[in-house]
Amino acid sequence: MIFQANHLQLLSGNEDMKNLKDEIKFPCGLSMKNRFMLAPLTNTQSHEDGVLSDDEFKWLTMRAKGGFGLTMSCASHVQAVGKGFPGQLGIFGDEHIEGLKRLTDEIKSHESLAVAQLHHAGMRSPEDIIGEQSVCPSDDEETNSRALTLDEVKRLRDNFIEAGVRAKKAGYEGAEIHGAHGYILCQFLSSDINRRDDEYGGTLENRSRIIFEIVDGIRNECGPEFLLGVRLSAERFGIKLGETKEVCKKLIDTNKIDFLDMSLWDSFKEPVEEEHKGKNLLEHFTELDFKDVQLTVAGNIRTGENVHEILNNKVDFVTVGRAAILHHDFPLKVIENSGFEPIELPAPRSHLIKEGLSDKFIEYMGAWPGFVGE
């Protein structure tokens, strides 16, 4: 297909390849030392009350030491009822600050930006983990989730903002608002899931309102020098590509965010919706006018070649997940060797231990077919 050939063509001339060690400058004034961001990866390693564990500290700080210009924590829930998985790092109470301060101090000592991802699982919060019925923009029979009242929606908004303030107190230099992957803010965006008839439902403007109110609140409370980003899904989870692009344009036009993090799963695939075929997912976003806002994407970035493919398609920096699990120093390896390829899967358990994964994290990764070996 033509759209698959286009991205490969950009690799033919090394003169067009971006320097991986280029400094990325954000509108807030902060700079990132290179073009590599650690993805906010679920790892189930912290304590059940949300307090940082030594295992999660080791995992994250090894990646900062391994050359990531920005080290993002795993999804950190802003309400206890928003917990999405066992051993999730929390940011819903001041009791979390002490551990997070220890974490951010160490991350920053390696000249890596420390950024928290703010999260609420909504209807994806397992009832056996949170001990009560999960919540959602509207009642959802399939997940036995109940609709939030209007007061609860506003409390949710305020708790996201408070978590941003808490992140700053804990030494984080910024925060990312998690609006992707079918979690609660993504649920608000979906016209399939969100059937509210108040100011948070109906039109796209109403369904996206909570995200913009959170952006406004964090920017107002944390100030102009606080790094602020938003993660969105392009499709799936009841999301429509055209609507996501409209939300992106509006976020850029607010002049209140520093980066957009697009979770594409596979950056060079065609969209699911027939009306948007003919261009790959990545092209749908790189054609937007980002002004001073920086663009990063996640989606099948596993080798040095993948890194260059993405960056040479008008992306400012890459968000690395799976390859960062396999190699804590993936950025350094790719900077040294543009053709670097990670260890073959399944990865031996001994290798994963050496790369800083705890037994709990390895057990979690065992659910990924073909990832963990003997």
* CATH code at position 211: 3.20.20.70
For residue 164, being part of any structural domain is answered with yes
For residue 352, being part of any structural domain is answered with no
Q: Which pLDDT score, from 0 to 100, does residue 265 have?
A: 85
For residue 360, being part of any structural domain is answered with no
Distance separating alpha carbons of residues 8 and 4, to the nearest angstrom: 7
The values of phi and psi at residue 220, to 5°, are -65, -40
Distance separating alpha carbons of residues 320 and 40, to the nearest angstrom: 9
CA distances from 6 to 194, 195, 313, 314 (A): 37, 40, 9, 13
3-state SS of 63-118? HHHCCCCEEEEEEEECCHHHCCCCCCCECCCHHHHHHHHHHHHHHHHCCCEEEEEE
Written as six digits, the tokens of 203 are: 């039109």
Helix or strand holding residue 248 (H, E): helix 241-253
Q: Which pLDDT score, from 0 to 100, does residue 16 have?
A: 61
What residues make up the domain containing 153? 2-342
Helix or strand holding residue 188 (H, E): helix 184-189
Cβ pair 160, 120 in contact under 8 A: yes
For residue 110, being part of any structural domain is answered with yes
For residue 358, being part of any structural domain is answered with no
**pTM summary value:** 0.95
Q: Which pLDDT score, from 0 to 100, does residue 13 have?
A: 40
Tally of structural domains, the chain: 1
CA distances from 278 to 36, 241, 285 (A): 29, 14, 14
For residue 244, being part of any structural domain is answered with yes
Please give the DSSP secondary-structure letter assigned to residue 149. Answer: P
For residue 363, being part of any structural domain is answered with no
- pLDDT averaged per 10 residues in sequence order, the chain, 374 residues: 39 63 98 98 97 98 98 98 98 98 98 98 98 98 97 98 98 98 98 98 98 98 98 94 98 98 92 94 97 96 96 97 98 97 98 98 96 95
CA atoms within 13 A on the CB side of 205: 1
